[in-house]
């Protein structure tokens, strides 16, 4: 089945926040952000801005009636700054005017007196100064110290990976409408409607039931609208409450890039020990996460780094330490992969380093250490249905890896100024929110008396196709065509206490809740059908709108059955709840069973480097992926291709560039480059492996949102392999921009120097 | 303020706001056509792409433009088509191809892609690389492969389409555009095709520079509009010169058959510059006047020995730049005409940026030499991104004359060019990188023009 929004997308009729017809009396908001990365706000002069024609009000922290606090995990982030300024762009004031233009012009007239302080812009620097958010975490298994002492080979080094701007094409935005009796309705471009509702309640000091949050769809989220859609919705709500007018707040791109957090940059130190058979006997890593100026989701992201620090390898003696370091940049946040990619990048660097030293390809070490059934992850969960080896083997066979490698060798023999490299990137990604309590969802189903069906869940559609999958679940449970099912907006009054659409888990959690709700109604309907048809209910089922007995049409259709139920006063609506069974995690012991299941896969990435110009292209990416039994191969293919290219972007052309005052210089699409059509690999082949799924996945169709992003890490190592053919050893610093490639080739970064890239 | 009259989809409209204001705001706010999306307001994402049809040389011809940059005054006498304007009872073949290939996820970029692809259908241009069709559209969701599959499908479907003048009829019959397109040409002929000349102080062409630099203050300016070219290929060869009006667009340069006969790679070079909708809007004169140190057509024209006419006779381009963003032009002076001597076959352009396409160069450079029996008889090298102005490498150029084309000369020229450069570190690269890059790109000129020396060039 096709993505249900395709027709409205291609005709331009899909509605986003910015497209909502303006309500009478609407005021437009512009956010005034801190002009410095670190400082103290001594004075705020609003008079000139207030005098600008069309300006209705300017709100500051003193206008907040409730708690001026939006920090979810740790309360360390005011909605509007009071006196301390912690990052450039930190919201200080909200200008409301009768046009977007006037609001922005007036904003430029705000004057501030600030005492500027030295910013901290690097995580290691913050760590050294003790600027740590939450506590340092350590995951450990076995006895790493003894294992290192006994290891035949031990290598150590360091590396770093940059952050990543989400660059959802639809910027952040919200539209808040005061309704009556202090009630607010907020349309928000958020992945987490409940987070918006909860935070508005806290900031405005009103109960959650006074706030309705509604989401039709997002023009992209990627994690950037999980927690960070909240401030803009709260600001709109605040102004709507104070001024009793509808308030529209849609960020311009430059504001969005300056004010919102990104994927966390990481620096890391690693030590890896191997035996003579290339088995990794010990691995130790310390992560310095650049959390930005406030906690946001950083502690949870850090935790997932720890869950994935051994990627898809079994390492008997492994230890990882990690700290969220407070710096003076935007608070960093969720981004597809949620810390997992950074953890995986580090161990792949360690493996590449060991491979250099031992004179083998990284592949040799990767292959020798893949997880097997029954192996234990460092957090205590045992690998069940481990597919690491199956994916690896399938890739080698289906992608004709040996032929590819031979072609690369002969290409490199034939070319002087251009070289190819190939890298393998196996992945293993845990599915579930690592905060156990978030693994729950609800769904509401109505069958109308004409047999048409309406469903609501807590899942938010942001392009990933979850709405489509929900429609499929309902259609399948009722045995009716998908066209009879309508998915409603995600709305806090229909489904309450939702988890954000994140962690790749929305289709599983909401799908399972929906499955239950549909089963309830369908069961009642089949009882009625059995009484009408005077037969055993177990003989009946519905397919294509018809009620079948012993697989033969009965003449009764779903439509007539629904009206019969109505006339017999049978309840045609149901709400159901689902909580993933069996998941738990003890953060004191750092042990548990946090994931319902794992997703596996392996990619081969081939790159060509132009050694004269220092540029590169990706010729081919072959992905052998464990989709389980995909309920929607069309949607899942799109997730795999899109995730890969986003991951390649993170590893290559996407570079966040801050100056030493903490100002983001790559603050526009002209200076921050995401992949365009030419930057995508020339060929991407996605191989749907024929492996059984997991019962914890909806219809055994495994979660797909995040895992493919991590194949992009292979892009870094493919380029690195190509550079080795020039005799240059690329340091473990991502992204590998054209500049880094040229510098590596031109200076022939010698062997042995590459691992010491960080000071 | 002069009102702007144009046909918006199937209706004639009059926009009364400032002529320099972006078309996009009118579309979304005044006309409430919300299918055109806002992703960046800087020409870099393509979510706002629209079609603009204009009578050129008696025929209606369409181009895609980024509506966030296009000054609304430019719409005077034109047919502006938004995604709402191609909507019929059924999906168009472009839309069908996108649906069939699942080439949309969140959908926010999608109307822009559909419009770029529809422009391709309307223009009937041939592309050796189909990706060029959507080179101005960023999609953050799909990874582009599904979009490329849709493009391939579209290109197949278009194989049967005749070229102008019957093309439009064919496209209407096959559902690419609605039937009302048939009458548009006649309706446009009744409108004044040029924007009403302003009496202001600032020359405005495509707005791809001005509307990025200062979108808000531009609103108070009354622009001076240079006349647009009256033919699709505004380049002519006469008296030993190639010339064009200053208002010729970068896309016209890319597609000029006149130029491609002299510089066969021109299409390839121009594909490295901006994107289709931006190139279509951007004038060459604007690129020169803008004085950006990395202007791509500027760098090419410097090497080609171009001259410009500001209404006061010919001024060599290499004397036009006085300092950072300073030129010999008064703000109200129009670059009427640009010309350069008919080039030899030895012209080459190189550009490296963070992202190979739709990005400003870290360093770009062009070289044009004349060679007799392997000896260089004249040489012009230029480089961008390595000085406050687009740099004519005067010293290097003069030193090359009389030398034999070989690997040694190439390496020597590369070294000299890099010595002549004065790059600074910024977001596009460190000074060290830019210097090294220029050296490499000058080598690349020689290797590309004289492939036999590749094996001899010692790349350290
Ligand atoms: C997304 C994007 C990508 C880009 N990529 C590139 C790139 O890869 N390479 C590159 O070189 N450039 C690039 N540019 C910049 C390029 O588009 C401009 O330099 C363009 O050529 C300016 O032309 P215009 O007609 O739009 O000028 P305008 O914005 O209209 O004007 C620019 C300046 O030129 C003056 N001017 C305009 N027309 C004339 C005239 N006829 N006579 C005298 N003065 C005139 C104006 O007064 C103004 O000072 C990019 C721009 C954007 C928005
Ligand atoms: S809005 Fe991005 S190109 Fe116009
Ligand atoms: S479909 Fe989301 S940006 Fe293209």
Same-domain check for residues B193 and B269 = no
Residue A681's nearest CA partner among A751, A623, A639 is A623
Interchain CB distance below 8 Å, A169 and B109: yes
> Residue A156: inside a domain, yes or no?
no
Same-domain check for residues A99 and A45 = yes
> Residue A52: inside a domain, yes or no?
yes
> Residue A695: inside a domain, yes or no?
yes
Indicate the residue among A223, A244, A259 that finishes a domain: A259
Same-domain check for residues B50 and B158 = yes
Same-domain check for residues A619 and A647 = yes
Is a pLDDT exceeding 70 seen at residue A750?
no
Residue B414's nearest CA partner among B387, B392, B391, B393 is B393
A212 is catalytic: no
Indicate the residue among A548, A579, A610 that finishes a domain: A579
pLDDT in tens, B12-60: 999 998 899 999 999 999 999 999 999 999 999 999 999 999 999 889 9
Query: Per-residue pLDDT averaged across A655-666, rounded?
Result: 94
CATH number reported for the structural domain that contains residue A244 in this entry:
3.90.1170.50
Is a pLDDT exceeding 60 seen at residue A240?
yes
Distance CA A620, CA A680 (A): 10
Same-domain check for residues B284 and B142 = no
> Residue A142: inside a domain, yes or no?
no
What does the H/E/C string look like for B16-28? Answer: CCCCCCEHHHHHH
Per-residue confidence (pLDDT) for residue B200, from 0 to 100:
75
Per-residue confidence (pLDDT) for residue A752, from 0 to 100:
61
| Residue for token pair 């340092």 | A136
Same-domain check for residues A43 and A190 = yes
Same-domain check for residues B155 and B40 = yes
Q: Which residues pair with A138 in a beta bridge?
A: A321
Q: Domain of A25? A: 6-118+166-259
Interchain CB distance below 8 Å, B108 and A220: yes
Per-residue confidence (pLDDT) for residue B218, from 0 to 100:
66
> Residue A180: inside a domain, yes or no?
yes
- Residues above pLDDT 90, as percent of chain A: 97
Per-residue confidence (pLDDT) for residue A224, from 0 to 100:
98
pLDDT tier for residue B192 given thresholds of 50, 70 and 90: confident
Q: Domain of B407? A: 226-459
Same-domain check for residues B308 and B401 = yes
Query: Per-residue pLDDT averaged across B99-104, rounded?
Result: 98
Burial of A626-639, coded b for 16+ CB within 10 Å and e otherwise, reads bbbbbbbbbbbbbb
Residue of A165, A706, A721, A739 with catalytic role: A706
Distance CA A605, CA A721 (A): 11
- Pairing mode, if any, of strands A615-625 and A597-610? antiparallel
CATH number reported for the structural domain that contains residue B119 in this entry:
3.10.20.30
Is a pLDDT exceeding 90 seen at residue A747?
no
pLDDT tier for residue A639 given thresholds of 50, 70 and 90: very high
| Mean model confidence pLDDT for chain A | 96
Of B38, B48, B102, B110, the one to substitute when testing ligand 3's pocket (max ligand atoms within 8 A of C-beta) is: B110
Q: What is the largest CA-CA distance in chain A?
A: 85
Whether the CB-CB separation of A426 and A599 falls below 8 Å is answered with no
Whether the CB-CB separation of B418 and A587 falls below 8 Å is answered with no
Same-domain check for residues B147 and B4 = yes
With CA atoms as reference, the chain A residue closest to B28 would be A19
Closest ligand to residue A18's CA = 2
Number of domains in chain B: 2
Indicate the residue among A259, A279, A294 that finishes a domain: A259
Indicate the residue among B217, B245, B273 that finishes a domain: B217
Is a pLDDT exceeding 70 seen at residue A13?
yes
Q: Is A239 exposed, middle or buried (0-12, 13-18, 19+ CB in 10 A)?
A: buried
CB contact, 8 Å: A223 with chain B? no
Same-domain check for residues B140 and B263 = no
Residues of B in contact with A6 (CB under 8 A): 98-99, 102, 104
Same-domain check for residues A56 and A83 = yes
Same-domain check for residues B184 and B243 = no
- Ranking A171-185, A580-594, B184-198 by mean pLDDT, the lowest is B184-198
Q: What is the largest CA-CA distance in chain B?
A: 69
CA dihedral angle for residue B378, residue B384, residue B389, residue B394, rounded to 10 degrees: -20
Same-domain check for residues B180 and B286 = no
Same-domain check for residues A560 and A670 = no
Same-domain check for residues A251 and A105 = yes
For A:438-467, CB contacts with B below 8 A are 462-465
pLDDT in tens, A471-521: 999 999 999 999 999 999 999 999 999 999 999 999 999 999 999 999 999
Distance CA A111, CA A89 (A): 15
Number of domains in chain A: 3
Whether the CB-CB separation of A463 and B107 falls below 8 Å is answered with yes
Cis peptide before A17 (omega within 30 of 0): no
CA-based angle B377:B416:B327, to the nearest 5? 85
- Mutation target to probe the B interface, by most B beta carbons within 10 A, among A677, A733, A735 is A677
Same-domain check for residues A423 and A362 = yes
Q: Is any ligand 3 atom within 6 A of the Cβ of residue B108?
A: yes
Q: Is any ligand 2 atom within 6 A of the Cβ of residue B212?
A: no
Same-domain check for residues B416 and B275 = yes
Return the SS3 of B56: strand
Is a pLDDT exceeding 60 seen at residue A153?
yes
Q: Which residues pair with A444 in a beta bridge?
A: A456, A575
Same-domain check for residues A636 and A489 = no
CA dihedral angle for residue B324, residue B330, residue B331, residue B332, rounded to 10 degrees: -160
| Mean model confidence pLDDT for chain B | 95
Distance CA A257, CA A264 (A): 14
Same-domain check for residues B18 and B144 = yes
Distance A30 CA to ligand 2 centre (A): 20
Interchain CB distance below 8 Å, B37 and A675: no
Secondary element (H or E) of residue A647: helix A633-651
Same-domain check for residues A288 and A406 = yes
- Mutation target to probe the A interface, by most A beta carbons within 10 A, among B18, B140, B278 is B140
Q: Is any ligand 1 atom within 6 A of the Cβ of residue B334?
A: yes
Indicate the residue among B217, B252, B269 that finishes a domain: B217
CATH number reported for the structural domain that contains residue A472 in this entry:
3.30.365.10
CATH number reported for the structural domain that contains residue B350 in this entry:
3.30.390.50
Is the ipTM here above 0.90? yes
Distance CA A257, CA A315 (A): 39
Same-domain check for residues B197 and B248 = no
Indicate the residue among B194, B217, B240 that finishes a domain: B217
Same-domain check for residues A640 and A611 = yes
Of B45, B275, B289, B298, the one to substitute when testing ligand 1's pocket (max ligand atoms within 8 A of C-beta) is: B289
Cis peptide before B63 (omega within 30 of 0): no
Query: Per-residue pLDDT averaged across A604-617, rounded?
Result: 97
- Residues above pLDDT 70, as percent of chain A: 98
pLDDT in tens, A58-94: 999 999 999 999 999 999 999 999 999 999 999 999 9
> Residue A161: inside a domain, yes or no?
no
CB contact, 8 Å: A23 with chain B? no
Per-residue confidence (pLDDT) for residue B55, from 0 to 100:
94
Is a pLDDT exceeding 60 seen at residue B460?
no
Distance CA B176, CA B168 (A): 9
Q: Is any ligand 1 atom within 6 A of the Cβ of residue B44?
A: yes
pLDDT tier for residue A759 given thresholds of 50, 70 and 90: very low
For residue A548, what are the contacts with CB-CB under 8 A and spacing of at least 6?
A: A540, A541, A542, A554
The set of long-range contacts for B154-159, using a CB threshold of 8 Å and a minimum separation of 24, is B154/B93, B154/B94, B154/B97, B154/B117, B154/B120, B154/B121, B155/B130, B157/B93, B157/B97, B158/B120, B158/B121, B158/B124
- Pairing mode, if any, of strands A39-45 and A84-85? antiparallel
Distance CA B328, CA B314 (A): 12
Q: How many CB pairs below 8 A link A and B?
A: 230
Residues of B in contact with A638 (CB under 8 A): 102, 105, 141-143, 146
Per-residue confidence (pLDDT) for residue A50, from 0 to 100:
98
Query: Per-residue pLDDT averaged across A681-710, rounded?
Result: 95
């Amino acid at each position: 089945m096709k993505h249900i929004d395709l027709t409205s997308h291609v005709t331009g009729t899909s509605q986003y926040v910015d497209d909502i017809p303006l309500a009478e009396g609407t005021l437009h908001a512009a956010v005034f952000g801190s002009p410095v990365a670190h400082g103290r706000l001594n004075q705020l002069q609003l008079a000139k801005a207030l005098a600008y024609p069309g300006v209705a009000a300017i709100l500051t922290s003193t206008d907040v009636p409730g708690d001026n606090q939006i920090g979810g995990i740790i309360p360390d982030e005011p909605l509007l700054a009071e006196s301390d300024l912690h990052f450039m762009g930190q919201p200080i004031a909200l200008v409301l005017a009768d046009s977007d233009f006037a609001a922005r012009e007036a904003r430029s007239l705000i004057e501030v007196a600030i005492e500027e302080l030295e910013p901290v812009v690097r995580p290691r620097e913050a760590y050294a100064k003790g600027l740590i958010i939450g506590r340092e975490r350590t995951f450990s298994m076995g006895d790493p110290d003894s294992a290192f002492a006994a290891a035949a080979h031990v290598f150590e080094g360091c590396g770093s990976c940059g952050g990543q701007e989400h660059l959802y094409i639809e910027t952040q935005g919200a539209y808040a409408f005061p309704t009556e009796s202090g009630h607010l309705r907020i349309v928000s471009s958020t992945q987490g409607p409940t987070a918006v509702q909860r935070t508005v309640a806290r900031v405005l000091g009103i109960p959650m039931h006074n706030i309705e949050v509604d989401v039709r769809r997002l023009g992209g989220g990627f994690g950037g609208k999980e927690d960070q859609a909240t401030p803009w919705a709260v600001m709109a709500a605040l102004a709507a409450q104070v001024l009793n007018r509808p308030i529209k707040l849609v960020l311009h791109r430059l504001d969005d890039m300056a004010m919102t957090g990104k994927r966390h940059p990481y620096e890391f130190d690693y030590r890896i020990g191997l035996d003579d058979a290339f088995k990794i006997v010990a691995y130790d890593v310390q992560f310095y996460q650049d959390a930005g100026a406030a906690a946001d989701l950083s502690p949870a992201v850090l935790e997932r780094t720890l869950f994935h620090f051994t990627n898809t390898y079994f390492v008997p003696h492994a230890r990882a330490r990690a700290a969220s370091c407070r710096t003076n940049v935007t608070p960093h946040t969720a981004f597809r992969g949620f810390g997992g990619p950074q953890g995986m990048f580090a161990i792949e660097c360690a493996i590449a380093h060991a491979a250099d030293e031992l004179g083998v390809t990284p592949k040799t070490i990767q292959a020798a250490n893949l997880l097997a059934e029954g192996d234990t992850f460092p957090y205590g969960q045992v690998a069940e249905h481990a597919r690491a080896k199956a994916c690896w083997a399938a890739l080698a066979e289906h992608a004709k890896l040996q032929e590819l490698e031979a072609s690369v060798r002969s290409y490199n023999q034939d070319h002087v100024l251009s070289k190819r490299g190939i890298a393998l990137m196996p992945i293993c990604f845990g599915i579930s929110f690592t905060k156990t309590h978030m693994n729950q969802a609800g769904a509401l189903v109505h069958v109308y008396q004409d047999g048409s069906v309406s469903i609501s869940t807590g899942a938010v559609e942001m392009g990933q196709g979850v709405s489509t999958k929900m429609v499929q679940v309902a259609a399948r449970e009722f045995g009716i065509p998908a066209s009879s099912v309508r998915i409603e907006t995600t709305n806090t009054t229909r489904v309450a206490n939702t988890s954000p659409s994140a962690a790749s888990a929305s289709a599983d959690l909401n799908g399972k809740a929906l499955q239950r709700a549909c089963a309830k109604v369908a069961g009642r309907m089949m009882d009625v059908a059995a009484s009408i048809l005077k037969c055993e209910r177990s003989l009946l089922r519905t397919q294509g709108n018809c009620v079948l007995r012993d697989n033969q049409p009965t003449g009764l259709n779903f439509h007539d059955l629904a009206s019969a139920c109505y006339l017999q006063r049978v309840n045609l609506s149901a709400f159901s709840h689902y909580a993933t069974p069996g998941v738990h995690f003890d953060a004191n012991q750092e042990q548990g069973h946090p994931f319902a299941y794992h997703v596996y896969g392996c990619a081969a990435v081939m790159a060509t480097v132009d050694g004269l110009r220092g540029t590169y292209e990706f010729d081919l990416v072959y992905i052998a992926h464990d989709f389980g039994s995909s309920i929607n191969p069309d949607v899942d293919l799109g997730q795999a291709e899109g995730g890969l290219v986003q991951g390649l972007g993170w590893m290559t052309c996407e570079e966040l560039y801050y100056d030493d005052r903490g100002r983001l210089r790559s603050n526009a699409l002209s200076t921050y480059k995401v992949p365009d059509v030419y930057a995508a690999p020339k060929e991407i082949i996605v191989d749907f492996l024929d492996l059984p799924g997991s019962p914890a996945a909806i219809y055994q169709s495994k979660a797909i949102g995040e895992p493919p992003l991590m194949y992009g890490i292979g892009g870094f190592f493919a380029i690195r392999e190509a550079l080795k053919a020039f005799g240059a050893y690329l340091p473990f610093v991502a992204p590998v921009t054209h500049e880094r490639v040229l510098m590596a080739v031109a200076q022939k970064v010698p062997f042995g120097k590459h691992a010491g890239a960080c000071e | 303020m002069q009102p702007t009259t144009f046909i918006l989809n199937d209706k004639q409209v009059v926009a009364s706001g400032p002529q320099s204001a972006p078309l996009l705001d009118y579309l979304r706010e005044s006309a409430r056509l919300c299918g055109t999306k806002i992703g960046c307001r800087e020409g870099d994402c393509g979510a706002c792409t629209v079609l603009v049809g204009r009578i050129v040389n008696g025929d209606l011809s369409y181009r895609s433009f980024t509506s966030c940059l296009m000054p609304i005054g430019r719409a005077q006498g034109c047919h502006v088509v938004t995604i709402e304007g191609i909507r019929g009872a059924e999906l168009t073949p472009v839309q069908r191809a996108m649906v069939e290939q699942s080439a949309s996820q969140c959908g926010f970029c999608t109307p822009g892609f559909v419009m770029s692809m529809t422009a391709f259908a309307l223009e009937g241009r041939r592309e050796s690389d189909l990706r060029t069709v959507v080179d101005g559209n960023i999609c953050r969701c799909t990874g582009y492969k599904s979009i490329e599959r849709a493009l391939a499908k579209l290109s197949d479907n278009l194989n049967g389409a005749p070229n102008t003048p019957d093309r439009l009829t064919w496209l209407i019959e096959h559902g690419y555009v609605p039937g009302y397109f048939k009458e548009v040409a006649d309706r446009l002929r009744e409108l004044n095709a040029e924007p009403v000349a302003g009496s202001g102080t600032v020359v405005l062409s495509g707005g791809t520079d001005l509307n990025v630099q200062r979108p808000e203050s531009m609103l108070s300016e009354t622009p001076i509009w240079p006349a647009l070219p009256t033919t699709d290929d505004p380049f002519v060869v006469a008296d030993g010169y190639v010339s064009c009006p200053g208002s010729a667009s970068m896309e016209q340069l890319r597609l000029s058959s006149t130029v491609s006969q002299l510089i066969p790679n021109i299409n390839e070079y121009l594909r490295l510059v901006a994107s289709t909708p931006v190139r279509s809007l951007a004038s060459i004169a604007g690129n020169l006047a803008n004085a950006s140190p990395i202007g791509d057509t500027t760098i090419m024209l410097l090497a080609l020995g171009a001259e410009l006419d500001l209404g006061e006779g010919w001024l060599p381009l290499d004397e036009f730049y006085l300092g950072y963003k300073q030129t010999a032009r008064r703000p109200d002076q129009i670059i009427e005409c640009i010309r350069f001597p008919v080039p030899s076959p030895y012209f080459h352009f190189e550009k490296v940026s963070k992202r190979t396409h739709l990005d400003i160069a870290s360093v770009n450079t062009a070289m044009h030499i004349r060679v007799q029996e392997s000896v260089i008889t004249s040489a012009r090298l230029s480089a961008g991104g390595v000085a406050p102005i687009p740099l004519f490498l005067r010293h290097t150029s003069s030193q090359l004359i009389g030398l034999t084309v070989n690997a040694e000369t190439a390496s020597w020229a590369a070294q000299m060019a890099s010595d002549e450069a004065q790059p600074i570190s910024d977001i596009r690269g460190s000074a060290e990188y830019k210097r090294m890059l220029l050296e490499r790109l000058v080598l690349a000129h020689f290797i590309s023009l004289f492939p036999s020396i590749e094996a001899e060039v010692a790349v350290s």
